[in-house]
A and B are shown apart, each in its own frame.
Chain A
Amino acid sequence: MSYFLVTLLAFFNTLINCSPLQVLVSVGGIFFLGFPVMAKVSAYTVAILEKSDFNPLVAMLIAILLTIIIAIGFYYLYLRVSNDSFAVIGLAAMLAVEALIISWDDLTNGLLGIPGIPRPEIANSIPSLLFVTILFALIVLVFEWLFFQTKYGRALRAMKENNISVEALGINPNKIILGIMITMAVVFSFSTSLYLWRVQFLAPSFAGLHYLILLLTIAIMAHRPKVTLLILSTVFVFYIPELLRFFPLPSAILGYSRLVIYSLLLIVLLINLSPKFITSSRKI
């Protein structure tokens, strides 16, 4: 029962994270690969503040503010560099933050990570945490669905094909991107807090390559602006590696085996979906 609840929690957590990513990457066609930075920074902010006796909710609010600043920083970079440079700078930022976390061990406890992160009162057990997570997932999905119905949602889809026509309609495409990035920062901060309260331990490897590939695979699979497609993609991609439990694999290679599955899946998806997939084009 406990395994089932924990898996369900992890599933909803993944679904929450994938929602803004589907909007930005799949619908907007903007390959922002720096999202693990947001997750890492917000997770470490919450963990460090909670260990310094801050109220968990206050810690989460501070993490949200810090992550919004990072989102604005990425937006600034997006305006300065080309699309492919922006994609790889995101990756570089992920490696840089990981290096910073490992190096600055006075603050982050280095390679040992941060154990014993306390839970807030509203989510002090797995069932109550599950309730909060499902509630937040519903809010995020409804918000995403509503966004797709608005003129901004339609403008985001149009941006991929013709940025100028969107501007001609009186909509600033860059403001939409900024809005999505800030929303992404808020969503990621909240979901990483939920993750921390579930696991109560933060390792420096959190939100690494595995996380990047998992979320990207789901976002690419959910390539149309449909919330149902996002849910189905998350179910499919999230539960496939659970099959590995039936094989007696050593724990040391289990993580890499999952990564092999995700990357193979992403390769197949990219080959099959790429003729229909349009990425944004713009001048800098």
Chain B
Amino acid sequence: MELFTQIIINSLISGTQVLLLATGLFLVYSVTRIMHVGLGAVAMILAYIVYSLLQTDLNIFMLFILFLTAALILTILTYLLLRGFINREQNLLGLLMSLTIGVFFESILSIIFGPEGRFINLFETKSYNFSEITVTNVGILTLALGICLFATGLFILRSTPEGRKLRATSSNKNLAIVLGIKTQKVIFITFFLATAIAGLVGVLKGMYTAVTPLAGLNLIIMSFIALIVGGPNDYRGTIVASYILVLIPELLISLSIDSFSLSASWKMVFVFVIATILLTLKPQGLFYSVTRNT
């Protein structure tokens, strides 16, 4: 029972990382209809920037300012490269461009930092024991940040003018333009939010396990699968899918019997199999239901 609870807690922490990145993907997709898969590499770049800044004697406030500046520069770069595809509504080519930007960033990171993993020691990692269950302060921080971001995100989307503009752009871009909403500005802000969230995920990953230059692709593919399994237009589905896709492989690996014990590298195989099954059964998303006009 303790093992089972421990697996659930670990999956909640990893699932929150996947969900946070999927939220960035969801936001960009909702206003541009482009799957910004380059966000994974952006997450790694920002994680490595934080890692490099920690080697100097900067205080946490300066670190945060520099993190946001780097996120802004990356947003400008990716937005400028993708703007043409957004305006021409070339979603597939936009996806390919985003993937290529990601590969470019990851290759540059590999050249500079090499393939080995790096830990981000933003603060000393401590473990807390609750009976037989262990949770680290990084894990608690991930969960807390996840909850805070969702609460803030929901509040902004539902109760602020900026959130309403974002929802209007997502719902009908042309109508939003007619109503005087500066959709390009909304899209840029959404890109910035997605980039900052991705960077946060990168830093959390570096604190929880480690970051490698190519880890972004695995992470973004997991988030993307969560997004399409949940349904790209249904955020509830993305939330459920993010945790299912982390929990089931984790259970299968952790509970595998000695003679059939499986290593952690099987995780991606299980994710793909689960995604294929779910997509076959529910191709439009987990909570999609057929409606008809009477």
Which of these, B35, B100, B271, B276, contacts A266 with CB under 8 Å?
Answer: B100
Task: Tell me the minimal C-beta distance from B245 to chain A in angstroms.
Answer: 11
Determine whether A209 belongs to the interface, using a CB cutoff of 8 Å to chain B: yes
Q: Write out, one digit per residue, whether chain B residues 85-96 have a CB within 8 A of any chain A CB (1) or not (0).
A: 100101111011
Give the chain B neighbours of A83 by CB distance below 8 A.
91-92
Using CB atoms, name the residue of chain A closest to B108. Answer: A260
| A262, closest chain B residue (CB) | B103
Measured in the bound complex, the distance between the Cα atoms of B224 and A33 in whole Å is 15
Choose from A80, A92, A216, A256 the contact partner of B224 (Cβ within 8 Å). A92
- A256 contacts B35, CB within 8 Å? no
CB B28 to nearest CB in A, in angstroms, measures 12
Known: A80-B279, A209-B217, A270-B100. A256 touches B93 (CB 8 A): no
Cross-chain contact of B90 among A89, A252, A263, A279 (Cβ < 8 A): A279
Number of interface residues of B (CB under 8 A): 46
Q: CB-CB contacts of B243-277 with A at 8 A, as 1s and 0s?
A: 00000000000000000001101111101110110
- Of the candidates B92, B217, B271, B275, the one having the most CB atoms from chain A within 10 angstroms of its own CB is B92
A65-103 interface (Cβ within 8 A of B): 77, 80-81, 83-85, 87-89, 91-93, 95-96, 98-100, 102-103
Binding site secondary structure of chain B: helix
B225 proximity list for chain A (CB < 8 A): 88-89, 92
Interface: B97 (CB within 8 A): yes
Contact of A259 with B by CB under 8 A:
yes
Q: Which residues of A contact B91 (CB under 8 A)?
A: 83-84, 279
For residue A259, which residue of chain B has the nearest CB?
B107
B92 adjacent to A87 (CB under 8 Å): yes
| CB-contacts of A162-180 with B (<8 A) | none
Interchain CA distance A281-B182 in the complex, whole Å: 28
Cα(A257)–Cα(B112), bound, Å = 11
A-side interface mostly: helix
Instruction: A110 to B84: give the CA distance in the assembly, Å.
Output: 43
CB-CB under 8 A from B221, the residues of chain A are 88, 91-92, 95
Q: Which of B100, B214, B265, B269 is in CB contact (< 8 Å) with A213?
A: B100
Q: Does B153 contact A (CB under 8 A)?
A: no
Contact A270 B37 (CB under 8 A): no
The 0/1 profile, CB within 8 Å of B marked 1, for residues 145-168 of chain A is: 000000000000000000000000
CB distance from A211 to the nearest CB of B (A): 12
Contact of B104 among A85, A95, A264, A271 (CB under 8 A): A264
Q: Which residues of B are found within 8 Å of A31, using beta-carbon distances?
A: 92, 95-96
The one of B37, B88, B108, B228 in contact with A274, judged by C-beta atoms closer than 8 angstroms, is B88
CA distance A260 to B104 in the complex (A): 5
Q: A77-B279, A263-B104 are in contact. Are A99 and B95 (CB under 8 A)?
A: no
Given A89-B228, A89-B279, A102-B265, 15 more A-B residue pairs with CB atoms under 8 Å apart are A87-B92, A91-B221, A95-B217, A96-B269, A99-B267, A99-B269, A216-B96, A259-B103, A259-B104, A260-B104, A274-B84, A274-B93, A277-B93, A279-B91, A284-B283
Residues of B within 8 A of A (CB): 35, 37, 81, 84-85, 88, 90-93, 95-97, 99-101, 103-104, 107-108, 110-111, 114, 214, 217-218, 221, 224-225, 228, 232, 262-263, 265-269, 271-273, 275-276, 279-280, 283
Provide a sorted-by-A list of 13 A–B residue pairs whose CB atoms are within 8 angstroms. Answer: A84-B95, A85-B228, A87-B95, A89-B275, A96-B269, A209-B214, A253-B110, A253-B111, A260-B108, A271-B81, A275-B84, A279-B92, A284-B283
